[in-house]
Every structure is written in structure tokens, then in C-alpha cells.
Amino acid sequence: MNRLKYLVTFILICSRIIIYAQDTRFSQFYAAPLHTNPGFTGSTIEHRFSMNYRHQWPNIPGAFDSYHAAYDYNAAEINSGFGLIFNREDAGSFGLTTNQVSASYAYRFRLNQKTYLAPGVKFGIVSRGVDFSRLVFNDQLESNSASTVDADAITDRNVNYLNIDFGGLLYSENYWVGISARHLNKPNQSLLGNNSVAQLPITFNFQAGYKFSLSGPTVKRRNAKDITAAILYEAQEKYHQLDLGLYYNHEPFVFGFWYRGLPLIKKYEDDLRTVPQNNDAVIILVGYSVLDRNIRIGYSYDVTVSRLATNTAGAHEISMVYEIASKKKKQRSRKFIVPCAKF
């Protein structure tokens, strides 16, 4: 019975990955700018390191773990940004993993004294595979044997493919608006050979935000107070997701509250794949800034409000952003920084 339970769990996990196209999503999307939109590449003073870790649905065996690490550089002399991104996702108890290494580039156009436009592109190499030693096949269930004759049922234990993303960002001192598209080349991620069902559909997303300053222009950074509201909307075929919320920043502390869901979008009651409901989660954020080191650390917890609430135990997420710049760069390049959240 336990083997059957794990086999069913594996099938559900694989179905979810094909349906939702295996896009890693972070509640703290504003702390993973290069993952959200390649147009953010170089939107820092000089050097920026960012890291994110998400542990989703801990009550489910083999919960979903997502990792993100990125570095980007602002080459202000040539109005360009360069980035390097590493992503990893572990899904379920059977070693289904996805690893991606990407490089991104963005170029800044100055539209007027305070407004900039930054289109960007990202190219990634993805490797996806399963740990076959942790799988249980049908003939093993029937014979209660440790070996299987179905070892070749999945033809490719690992599949590698190219992934291409494109995005654009419009920003000024207090706002930013961006759009991006992932999987422009619609790569095939199938482990079952040439299977068009596993072709990744294009994911479109829209992000925007506005920073409301609650301090005067002469207030020092240590006493700065502001509220930033932000939105992220994603659409992939008929599936949609909306993250909407704000955070209050009173250096060195940050507190935020977010909502994820689409209550006004029609539910597909006849589609068993739409297990996540239109109301998905509310997200609580706390953060702290080490101002002398220019390090920001954030922790958030997803409180599930769908009918999965009693089974999943939500999701935990940690982020860190570390920025480095010389004094000369700080004086010359601050005007290029997007006023988006660091958490």
C-alpha cells in the first residue's frame, strides 16, 4: 500500500509539472529580480548578489524546494547590465530535479532626465531528470520484487534544452513597470522521448510597483520610512496567478503583507487539474537590513487559504540581497537604480 501511495504521488507530481510548466515561483519575487524579468539586470549601483530559498508544502512527502542565486553588474559606462543566474528545483520524493544556468543582459535607454527603459534577454541551459533508484514500477507492485523490467519505460533519464526569456522595464525614481515572456522557444522537457505534451508554453508576466516616501528628502537613510506597493501577474495558457501587496520599510526593519489569487477569474470546475483554488494564500513578510554592510534579509510565510490548507502547511521562504559598490560608483550610478523592493 505504501508503494502504491508513493507511485500515485509521483504521478500527481509529474502531472503538476507538465501542467504548470515547472516555472519556479517565489513569493518574494521582488527579491529575485533577474528571475522575474531580465530587464532588471544591472539595476543596482555596481555589484549585486541575491539568493532565495523556498520550501513549499512541507506536510507533503518530498515537498517542493526551490533555489535561486544570481549575480549582476551595472556597467554604467556603456549603459548595460550583465547577469549570471542559477536555479534549482527539487520536486517530490523521487528525485525529480531541474537545474538551470542562465546569462542575462539588459541595455538602458534614457527617455528623459528621470525615466529609463531597459529591455533585456536571458539565455539558459536546463537539465531535468529523475532518480530512478527512488521509483517504484507497476511490475514491482504486482510481484513485490525489488527489480523491474520497466527500467526503459522512460527513455531519457535526463533531458537538456535551451531556454530563452525576454523582458522590458520602464522605471523612474518612484515607480517601475515591466513585462516579460519566458520559454520563447517553447522547449521540450519530456522524459518520455519526443512528446509534444511536455513542450513548455510561453509564460507572460506583468510586474509594477510604486514607492511612497514617508520621510522628507533630507532624512538620513537610517531613519528612512516608506511604503512600496507591488504587483506580479502571470499567465500561461489558461492558468493565471496574481500576487498583490505592499511592505512598510522603517530602516532597518521591513514588514509586508501579500495576497495571491484570482477571485474574479472563472474556476474550471470540470478540470481536475485545477486543484489550487482561485484564493491561494496570504503572505506575511518580515525583513532586516544590515545597513553598514548593505545586506537585506527577508523571511516570508505563505498561509494557504485554499482547500489545500489543512494538508500542505503553507510555504517558507528566505531571501538575501547583498550590494557592493565603490564610492565613485555610488555617486555616479545611483540614478540608474530601480526603486523596487529588496525583499
The ranges assigned to domains in the chain are 2-336
The answer to whether 126 and 161 have CB atoms below 8 angstroms apart is yes
Spell out the residues 6+ positions from residue 244 whose beta carbon is closer than 8 angstroms to its own. 230, 231, 232, 258, 259, 260
Identify the CA nearest to 104 among candidates 73, 128, 78: 73
Q: Could you tell me if residue 82 is left (phi over 0), alpha (psi between -120 and 50 degrees) or otherwise beta?
A: beta
Q: Are 9 and 288 in contact (CB under 8 A)?
A: no
Give the pLDDT score at 227.
94
13-63 residue pLDDT tens = 444 444 344 578 899 999 999 999 999 999 998 999 999 999 998 887 777
At residue 91, φ and ψ (nearest 5 deg) are: -120, 115
Which tens digit of pLDDT belongs to each residue from 223-261? 678 999 999 999 988 888 899 999 999 989 999 999 998
CATH number for the domain whose boundaries are 2-336: 2.40.160.40
| Close Cβ partners of 3 (under 8 Å, ≥ 6 residues apart) | 136, 140, 141
**Which pLDDT score, from 0 to 100, does residue 214 have?**
87
Question: 30-40 as b/e, with b when 16 or more CB fall inside 10 Å?
Answer: bbbbbbbbbbb
Question: What is the percent of the chain where pLDDT is above 70?
Answer: 73
Say if residue 308's pLDDT is above 60.
Answer: yes
Are 314 and 301 within 8 A, CB to CB? yes
Percent of the chain whose pLDDT exceeds 90 = 50
How would you class 80 by CB atoms within 10 Å of its CB: exposed for 0-12, middle for 13-18, buried for 19 or more? Answer: middle
Q: Mean pLDDT across the stretch 107-119?
A: 94
Mean of the per-residue pLDDT values of the chain: 82
Higher pLDDT, 201 or 270: 201
Q: What is the 3-state secondary structure (H, E, C) of the chain?
A: CHHHHHHHHHHHHHHHHHHHCCCCCCCCHHHCHHHHCHHHCCCCCCEEEEEEEEEECCCCCCCEEEEEEEEEEEEHHHCEEEEEEEEEEEECCCCEEEEEEEEEEEECEECCCCCEEEEEEEEEEEEEECCHHHCCCHHHHHHCCCCCCCCCCCCCCEEEEEEEEEEEEEECCCEEEEEEEECCCCCECCCCCCCHHHECCCEEEEEEEEEEECCCCCCCHHHCEEEEEEEEEEEECCEEEEEEEEEEEECCEEEEEEEEECCCCCCCCCCCCCCCCCEEEEEEEEEEEECCCCEEEEEEEEEECCCCHHHHCCEEEEEEEEEECCHHHHHHHHHHCCCCCCC
How sure is the predictor about 307, in pLDDT bands with cuts at 50, 70 and 90? confident
